[in-house]
Amino acid sequence: MAMSLVGGTSSRIFVCGGCGSYRPSRSRRLRVTAAAGGDAAVRVRFAPSPTGNLHVGGARTALFNYLFTKNHGGKFILRIEDTDIERSTKESENAMLQDLEWLGLDWDEGPGKPGEVGPYRQSERNSIYQNYAQKLLESGHVYKCFCSDEELARMKELAELKKLPPRYTGKWATASKQEVDAEIARGTPYTYRFRVPRTGSVTINDLIRGVVTWKHDVLGDFVILRSNGQPVYNFCVAIDDACMKITHVIRAEEHLSNTLRQVLIYKALNLPVPRFGHVSLILAPDRTKLSKRHGATSVGQFREMGYLPDAMVNYLALLGWNDGTDKEIFTKDELMEKFSLERITKSAAIFDQTKLSWLNGKYLHQLPDEELVKLISSHWLKAGILSHADSSFTKEAVELLKDGIDVVARSEVPLLKLLSYNLAQTLESKSLGDLVKDNLREVAEALISAHDNGELASALESGRDGWQTWTKSFGKKLNRKGKRLFMPLRMLLTGELHGSDLGSSMVLLHKAAQQQCVTAPQFTPLSSRISQLKELDWSKLQEDHQTIEAAAAAA
C-alpha cells in the first residue's frame, strides 16, 4: 500500500514485507494518509458482532464497503468479531450470513470462503493477539497493570470530582521489575495496558469527514488484554485490519472515537495504517437513533415482511449517498459503477419506511407476472385467506390489485377489502347523503330483482363482457348512466364508495364463490350481500341522513 506521512518533521514510510510493517521517521505529530491506488488492490472489510440481528445500519455499512471495493476491483472481506463470549451466538452469526447472502453482498474472503489471511472469526485468532501483545510488552509500549476494580473505580470518581475525563493514573505505568515480579508471585490478576504518549497528537484525513485530530492527552493508558487473557475490541480490530491487509476502513461514525487507540497501536507495532471513512448514523423520522420502538430495524424483519432484496439494496444505498442527480432507482450493477465515497454526505440519513415501501413497489411491479402471482398468492395462502393458490381467481385477483400492493406482507389488505362487505359502516357516512337523495332505494330494489331472477349471476358468468352488457341494460331500465348508475351500484354491491374496477371486482367475487377457494371469514358472497340489502329499513336510512344534514347545517 502506497503511504506517506505529512506534518511535523515526518518524511516517508518504508513499507516492509510480512504483515506490512514499516519504520516511520520520528515525529511529534503524525498525520496519516494512504492512497487508494498504488501497487496494492483495495481491500475492505465488514466486521459484525454476532450478538443480535443485522441492523439496517450495519447492512448499509456492508453495502458501502461492497460497492466501494467492487468499483475499484478490490476484495470484500467478512470478519466475525465474536470476542464478546457471553453475548455472541452461532445462531446470530448464521442469521447475519443469511441476511448478507439475501442482499447479494457476497464476500471474497471470510466464513466459508477461506483466504490467505484467515481465520476470519476473532475467537479463532487469540494466538495472533497474544503474539502481538507480547511484542508490545517487550518494546515497552504495554505494561502489566495489577490495579483492582476498586482502585480503578476510585480513580474514576476522583476524575469526575475534578471534572476531568477518566484516565488511568495508577502506579503500574512506572512500577519497577521487582514490584511487578512480586505481584506475579502473589498470583495477583493483571491486565495489559497500552502506554499512551503524554504529548503529541494523531491526525487522519477521513475520507468522508475530512481532517480529524486527537491530542494524546485526551486518552489515558488503555487495556488491550483483560485479566482473563481475552483481548479487547480496539486491539483486535487494529491487529486484524493490519494482518488482513485492509486498505480502507469504512464504518459508522460511532467508531470515530476508536480511531485514536487503533492508530496508536498501528504506530507502536510499525503496522500500515488504513484509510478511514466514517459514515453518519441512520436516524428515525423523529431524528432520534433508529430503534425497535420505530418498528422494523433489522434486515431479517424486512425480508420476512416480503421486501425484495434488490429494493432493499437500492434503498440502503440512498441513505447518505447519491450520484449527483435526482435518480432514485438503481440496479446493483449501476450502483457498483457509480458509487464513490466522495458522494457520501456528512449529515445523518433518515430512515423512511414509506419511501422504502414505495421503492419496493416499483421493483415488485417489474417482476414477471408468474413470479408476482406466486409471491403474493403464497402470502395469501399463508395468511389463511385462500385454501389453494392455483386458481384463476388468484391470478385475476393479483392482476386487479397489484397496483395497490407495495409490500407482499401487506397484500392481503386490498384483497380483504374486496372480499368483505362493510355496508352498515358505509351507510352511516356523511358522503352518502347525495346517493340517498338520488333515490338509492330504486337502484337497490332493481338490483335485488336482477339477482333473484338470475340475470346478474348469468352476466357475471360471462366475465367482464357479460357485466358490461348487463350494466348497459340495467342503466337503460332506470334511465341512469355514468356516476348516477355506477356510484350507487358500487356502494350497494361492494359496501364501499371507492375501489378497484367494479366489473372486475364483481367477476372475481363470483369466481370466489364458484371455485370455493376463499377461506377468509370476512368473505361475503354476492347472495349474502343481497340478503343484507333486502333487510334495509329505507325510511329510517332517509331520516338518519336528514338528521345528519341538519346537524351539519347548524354547525
pLDDT-based confidence at residue 360 (cuts at 50, 70, 90): very high
Residue type, 409: A
Q: Which residue has the cell 384483497?
A: 415
525-538 confidence digits (pLDDT tens): 999 999 999 999 98
Overall average pLDDT of the 280-308 stretch:
87
Does 7 have pLDDT greater than 90? no
pLDDT tens string 510-525: 999 999 999 999 999 9
**Is the pLDDT assigned to residue 183 strictly greater than 60?**
yes
Task: Using the predicted structure, report yes or no on whether residue 76 has a pLDDT greater than 90.
Answer: yes
pLDDT (tens digit per residue) in 312-333: 999 999 999 999 999 999 999 9
Q: For this structure, is 481 an active site residue?
A: no
Q: Which of 90, 162, 177, 292 is catalytic?
A: 292
When the pLDDT of each residue in the chain is averaged and rounded to a whole number, the result is: 89
Domain segments of the chain as ranges:
40-115+280-366, 368-554
Looking at 3.40.50.620, 3.40.50.1100, 2.40.50.100, 3.40.50.300, the CATH number of the domain 40-115+280-366 comes to 3.40.50.620
Extract the C-alpha cell encoding 116. 490467505
Asked if the model's pLDDT at residue 142 lies above 80, the reply is: yes
Q: Are strands 191-194 and 222-225 parallel, antiparallel or unpaired?
A: antiparallel
375 alpha-carbon distance from chain centroid: 21
Region 420-447 average pLDDT:
89
Q: What would the mean pLDDT of 7-22 be, rounded to a whole number?
A: 33
20/22 Cα distance (integer angstroms): 7
The x, y and z cell numbers of residue 181, run together, are 515480579
Distance of alpha carbon 528 from alpha carbon 1, whole angstroms: 76
pLDDT digits (tens, 9 = 90+) for 184-229: 999 999 999 999 998 999 999 999 999 999 999 888 899 999 999 9
Under a CB-based contact definition with an 8 Å cutoff, are residues 265 and 238 in contact? Answer: yes
Tell me what percent of the residues of the chain surpass a pLDDT of 90: 76
Which pLDDT does position 170 carry in this prediction? 76
The phi and psi torsions of 487 (rounded to 5 degrees) equal: -65, -50
- In angstroms, what CA-CA distances link 103 with 97, 218, 547? 10, 40, 58
Give the per-residue pLDDT at 5. 27
Quick one: CA dihedral 266, 271, 275, 281, positive or negative? negative
For residue 350, the Cα-to-chain-centroid distance in whole angstroms is 12
Q: Where are the beta strands (DSSP E) in 321-379?
A: 349-350
Helical spans, DSSP H, in 117-258: 126-139, 149-161, 177-186, 233-243
pLDDT at residue 354 tops 60: yes
Q: Which residues are CB-neighbours of 298 under 8 A, at least 6 positions away?
A: 52, 53, 54, 55, 56, 99
Contact between 280 and 349 (Cβ < 8 Å):
yes
Instruction: Kindly report the backbone phi and psi dihedral angles of residue 48, in degrees, each rounded to the nearest multiple of 5, phi listed first.
Output: -80, 155
User: How many whole angstroms separate alpha carbon 347 and alpha carbon 362?
Assistant: 27
The DSSP bridge pattern shows strands 13-15 and 22-24 to be antiparallel
Helix (H/G/I), strand (E/B), else coil: 251: strand
